[in-house]
Structures are given as structure tokens and as C-alpha cells.
Amino acid sequence: MNYLYIALALLAAYLLGSIPTALWVGRRFFGLADIREHGSGNAGATNTFRVLGPKAGSAVLLVDALKGFVAAFFLPQWLVAQGAIAPEHELYFKLACGVLAIVGHIFPIFAQFRGGKGVATVLGMMLGVAPATVGVCLLVFIVMLLLFRYVSLASMSAGVTFALLQLLPQFRPAQPFMVYVGFLLAALLIYTHRANIGRLQAGTESRVPLFGRK
């Protein structure tokens, strides 16, 4: 193993995740000093949709998902290509780089460690590590959103679905420890949505207007 290359890849994963897409889009294209001072106070795609509109929200969603995908998919491949790790260890580094990108998104060094909730970046990591699960998780997200119109509830439900799917060998890579990673990610999403859970319990959580319903 080449520990210098490994350290560089892990650092790159965190720094990539730390790119505060919502914050920078708000400043560059809308003259908004800090999106975290508006809407839900979150620097993520959902709040960007709410504050800046669907075009900005879609762009932030795409870039935040790409952060997780690039970290989990390409950085470990680079390590293998450089001979820094053995090919059989690639999955371990997919997980490590993906998780670090998610941590960077939630606690970004470029934005005073106040970032988003990690949903889009988790989605990108899923695509890079366990793509077979993505369709099912997206279906759960859409169904929950249509039924209840809470993005937070739909996001947490999709995260829990990802964890449960890791119990089924056909939905996960060969290593059974993916089960633990799945439940770790689900727990992380629930943690980042703890304020939303409080608002759901109080009946004050914002709903997404769908088909003319407010």
C-alpha cells in the first residue's frame, strides 16, 4: 500500500464533499449572501428548491450527488491504477471515500462546517458503491413524497430502505459488512434530519406543493 496516495485520496474525498454548492450557487447567480439565512436554514438541494427555485435546486442536487459518486467511484479506481491499493481492497476505499464525501457535505471546511443534510451525496455514493439499490430507494422516495409531501420523511425512508436492502445479498456487493455501512448511513440521515423529526411530530414541517395541493 502507498499510504501517501491513500491519504491524498481520503483528503480529496472530504474536500470534494465540502464544496458548498448551494451556498456558492446562491452567491454567484442570485446575489444571496448565505442561503442558510433563508428558508429552512440548510445548505442543501431542498432548501435551494424552496428559496431559489427549481433550476437552481436541480443544479445543486446534481452537483451534490456527483460529489458522492466521484468520491466513491473514481478515487478508489485511481488508487488501484496507481498501485496504491490492491484491487480486492477497492470496495473498502469506495466506502471510506464515499463516507468522507458525505461528512464533508454535512460539515464542510469551506462553509464554517455548516452544510447540508447529506441526502444527495448519499445518493451519489449509492450509485458508486451499490447501484442496484438506487432504483428501489428512489421509488420509495417518490411514493413517500406523493403520499405525504414531506421531503424529509421521504429522504429518511429512502435511507432506511437502502439499509434494509443490504440485508439481501442480491442488492449489495459481496462483503456482508455493507449491512453495517447501510445502517450507519441511515442513522446519519436520521441524525441530520433530527430538527425535521421534531417539526413532523409538532405538525409544523413544510410540505411540498404537488398537483395544486399546498
pLDDT at 202: 97
Q: How far is CA 114 from CA 71, 83, 92, in A?
A: 20, 36, 27
Statement: residue 213 has pLDDT above 70: no
Residues 6+ apart with CB under 8 A from 13: 71, 75, 96, 97, 98, 100, 101, 104
The Cα 38–Cα 40 span in angstroms is 6
CB 101 within 8 A of CB 67: yes
Kindly state the average pLDDT of the residues 23-30.
97
The string of pLDDT tens digits covering residues 33-87 is 999 999 999 999 999 999 999 999 999 999 999 999 999 999 999 999 999 999 9
pLDDT confidence of 143, banded at 50, 70, 90? very high
- Other beta carbons within 10 angstroms of residue 41's beta carbon come to 12
The proportion of the chain whose per-residue pLDDT surpasses 90, expressed as a percent, equals 90
The Cα 10–Cα 63 span in angstroms is 19
Tell me the β-bridge partners of 168.
Answer: none
pLDDT at 114: 97
The string of pLDDT tens digits covering residues 128-139 is 999 999 999 999
CB 190 within 8 A of CB 197: yes
Kindly state the average pLDDT of the residues 92-114.
97
Residue type, 69: F
Please report where in the chains the cell 440548510 appears, as a residue: 42
210 exposure class (CB count in 10 Å sphere: 0-12, 13-18, 19+): exposed
Short-list 201, 46, 24, CA closest to 118: 46
Give phi and psi for 213, each to the nearest 5. Answer: -90, 135
Domain residue extents for the chain: 1-129, 131-214
Residue type, 15: L
